[in-house]
Structure 1
C-alpha cells in the first residue's frame, strides 16, 4: 500500500479534509471559486466511491474581514475576529452548499468550540450528530465557532480541530491541505537545502524540532507546529494524517497520483474513551509523581497516592488531569479525588489513607482503566 492509498475510499471509509484560509481565500478576500470547485469535484468522486467525507473549512474570518473593511485580515483584535467570523461564515457556508449541491450532495454546517469536544457529554453529542449526518449521505462542513470563542477556550487553528473532529466522527484519515507541501527538514523558505520528509513513523522530539510556528500567508492561524500536534491528536483516535500541498489545481487528485506530501501513519486504535482522553487539549489540573511512579505507569499500573509528590489545580473527582514527571506530562486520566483530598493523601501509603481522610478511601488517584500514556 502506498502512502496515498491509506486515504483512498477502499482503505479509509471516513475521511476528514481540512482546507486552510490561504488556499481558499485570495489575498484581497475573495473565494478561489474555480480551485474550490475542483476540490469539491474530487470529494464528490470519493463520495460516489463510498467514502464518507467531512470538510473542515477555514476562511470565514478572511472573507468577513474584506466585507467589513477590517485591518490585519480581521485578526487585529478578538472583537474584530468575532465580527469577521460572523459575517464571513454566511458567505463561506453558501459557497460550500452551492458547490456540493452541484454534485447532488447536501452540505450541513457544524460550528464547534473547544468546549464542545473537551466536555465528554458534548463530545458524545457531536459524535452522534456526525454519525447521523454521514449515515444520511450528508457532507458536514465544520469550522470553529469564532463568533463566540475566546482566547481561553478556542482551538486557535483548524488543523487540531480537524484531528479532533476525526476522533469524534470515528474517521480513519485526515488530509490537511496546506500552503506547504508537507514537513521539511527545515523551513524551506529560509533554507533552500531543506528536503521534504515523505513519512514520519513516530512523532518524537526531533520531529517536533523541525516545525515552524509561522503561517506563511498571514491569513491563517496555524503553522507546522499545529499540524504536528494535529497528527498526535489524530493518532490518538487511530487515524492516519497527511499534510499535502494545496496550491495546485485538484490537490487531492494530485496526492493520489504522485503521493507527494508527508504522511503520519497511525498506530492501532485505542478504546473510544482513551482516544478522547489522549486527544484532549486541556486538563483541569496536574499530579506530579516521582520516578518510581512514572516507571510503574509506563508498565500499565494505576497511580497510587504513594507515588504523588504534588497536586496542582482546582479539579474535582472525574475531571481530566495530567500526570507529570520531570516537568513533562507523561499520562492523562480521570481523577478519583477532588484536588483537596488528593493533596492530603499525596505521598501516603494505602494503609494510612482512611486515617487521613476520615472515611474509607478509593485505593488509587487515577485508575489505569481511565488513563492514557502520552
Structure 2
C-alpha cells in the first residue's frame, strides 16, 4: 500500500485504536454518543471493503466511574477490579452499537505472554484473521484483570501496533484527544505547528513527542510515535488524529490532511522477526566486541560466541536477550541458543572450543540470524 495520504484508500486492513480520554468523557462514564459515532464510521469502512480491528482503551476508566473512584488506583488488585467492572460496560456498548449496523463484534483480551509465546502468538493471529474473514469486528484490549508488570504490554498504543503486526494491517489509526504530533508542545508554545506528514527515519520525531500522558491512560504522544515504529515493521503507516473530529475515519480514508501521518522508512520485516522485535520483556544482555557488531550490522550474519565479551542476566534457552556494543548502545536483540550459565561458559569461544567448554556438543551460534533483529 502507498504510504501517501492518497494511498490510504487502497488499504484493506486497518487497526483503529481509541484512547481512554475519548471513550470515557474525561472519566464521567462511557461516552456512548462518541462510541456510536465511531462504530457507524467503522461500519462504513466495512461496507467499503475495509476489514477493521478496534483496539479500545477505557475498561479501567469506566470501572472507576462505576465504582465511584476519583483517581486511578495505584494498588494492583484495585486496578484489576476496576478493569473487570469496566470491561463489562465497554464491550456491551460496542456490541450494541455494531448490532445496529448489522455487524457482529468479538472480544479479544491479550497480555504480553500472548504475544511473547510463539504458539500463543500464532493462535491469536489465526483467531483474528478468521474473525475478519467472518466479517466480525474484533474489539481488542489488554487483559488488565490479570496483567502484572511482568506480563503487561504497557499501553494500548503498543497493543494496537502489535495487532497491526499480527494481522499485517495496512494502517494503524490512533484516535486521541490531540490534533496530532506537533513540532513543540502546543500547551507551552503558541507557535507550535502540527506535523502533517513525517518519515519515521526522521530522528527528531521522539523529541517532538515529549513525555506527557493523560490521567486516565498510560500512554502519551511518545508511546504513539513508538507504536508507529512497531507498526512499520510490517510496512504499515500510522495516522494520529483527534477522535472527536466529525467523520474522522471517513476523512482519513479520503486522503484529507487530518492529523499526522507517519510513514514507514524501511521494508517489511519477515514474520518471525516481527514477532521477535515485538517482544517487550528482555531477559538478558550480551556485550559484543567491535568485530561482532560489524558482522551483525554489515553482513547480516549470526552472532557467534567468539564475539561476545560479557553476559548479564538470568535467562533460559530461547529467551529474548539484547545485544549491545562496548558503549552500551543496543545493536540487536534475539533469541539465545543458550541459557545464561552456558552462555558464560562459552564466552569468547571459537567454534572448535564450544564442545570442550560445555563438556558436550553445542550450537555454533549464540543467536542464529533467523532469530535476530537489528535495532534502529
Tell me how far apart the structure 2 counterparts of residues 250 and 39 of structure 1 sit (CA, whole Å): 8
Query: Alpha-carbon deviation of 1:204?
Result: 5.3
Gaps of 5+ in 2: none
Query: Alpha-carbon deviation of 1:131?
Result: 1.1
Tell me how far apart the structure 1 counterparts of residues 55 and 3 of structure 2 sit (CA, whole Å): 25
Structure 2 vs 1, CA of residues 31 and 7 (structure 1 numbering), >3 Å: closer, same or farther? farther
Partner of residue 57, structure 2: 58
Which region of structure 1 is more displaced relative to structure 2, 299-308 or 23-32?
23-32
Partner of residue 224, structure 2: 227
Structure 2 vs 1, CA of residues 24 and 174 (structure 1 numbering), >3 Å: closer, same or farther? same
Query: Alpha-carbon deviation of 1:357?
Result: 1.6
Per-residue CA deviation, residues 49-68 of structure 1 (Å, 9 max, x unaligned), is 11111000111111110111
Tell me how far apart the structure 2 counterparts of residues 84 and 184 of structure 1 sit (CA, whole Å): 33
Partner of residue 247, structure 1: 244
Which region of structure 1 is more displaced relative to structure 2, 245-254 or 278-287?
245-254
Tell me how far apart the structure 1 counterparts of residues 287 and 30 of structure 2 sit (CA, whole Å): 49
Partner of residue 137, structure 1: 135
- TM-score, with structure 2 as normaliser: 0.94
Quick check: 1:80 aligned with 2:81?
no
Q: How many residues matched?
A: 370
Partner of residue 350, structure 1: 351
Which region of structure 1 is more displaced relative to structure 2, 260-269 or 176-185?
260-269
Tell me how far apart the structure 1 counterparts of residues 8 and 273 of structure 2 sit (CA, whole Å): 24
- TM-score, with structure 1 as normaliser: 0.94
Tell me how far apart the structure 2 counterparts of residues 117 and 360 of structure 1 sit (CA, whole Å): 32
Per-residue CA deviation, residues 89-131 of structure 1 (Å, 9 max, x unaligned), is 1111010001111000000011111111111111111101101
Query: Alpha-carbon deviation of 1:28?
Result: 4.5
Structure 2 vs 1, CA of residues 2 and 324 (structure 1 numbering), >3 Å: closer, same or farther? closer
Paired residue secondary structure (2:127) = helix
Structure 2 vs 1, CA of residues 139 and 220 (structure 1 numbering), >3 Å: closer, same or farther? same
Tell me how far apart the structure 2 counterparts of residues 219 and 361 of structure 1 sit (CA, whole Å): 50
Paired residue secondary structure (1:110) = strand
Contact 1:167-1:275 at 8 Å conserved across structures? yes
Paired residue secondary structure (1:27) = coil
Paired residue secondary structure (2:333) = strand
Gaps of 5+ in 1: none
Tell me how far apart the structure 1 counterparts of residues 6 and 137 of structure 2 sit (CA, whole Å): 22
Give 1:162-201 correspondences, 5 Å limit. Answer: 162-201=160-199
Partner of residue 292, structure 2: 293
Query: Alpha-carbon deviation of 1:348?
Result: 2.0
Query: Alpha-carbon deviation of 1:152?
Result: 2.7
Paired residue secondary structure (2:367) = coil
Per-residue CA deviation, residues 193-222 of structure 1 (Å, 9 max, x unaligned), is 111222221245432122222224x22210
Per-residue CA deviation, residues 301-359 of structure 1 (Å, 9 max, x unaligned), is 21111110111122222222211112122111121212111111111222322222222
Tell me how far apart the structure 2 counterparts of residues 43 and 247 of structure 1 sit (CA, whole Å): 14
Per-residue CA deviation, residues 128-147 of structure 1 (Å, 9 max, x unaligned), is 11011111000000111111
Quick check: 1:99 aligned with 2:100?
no
Partner of residue 330, structure 1: 331
Query: For 2:207, which of 209, 212, 215 is the aligned residue?
Result: 209
Give 1:142-153 correspondences, 5 Å limit. Answer: 142-153=140-151
Give 1:240-319 correspondences, 5 Å limit. Answer: 240-257=237-254, 258-266=256-264, 267-299=266-298, 300-319=300-319
Query: Alpha-carbon deviation of 1:2?
Result: 7.3
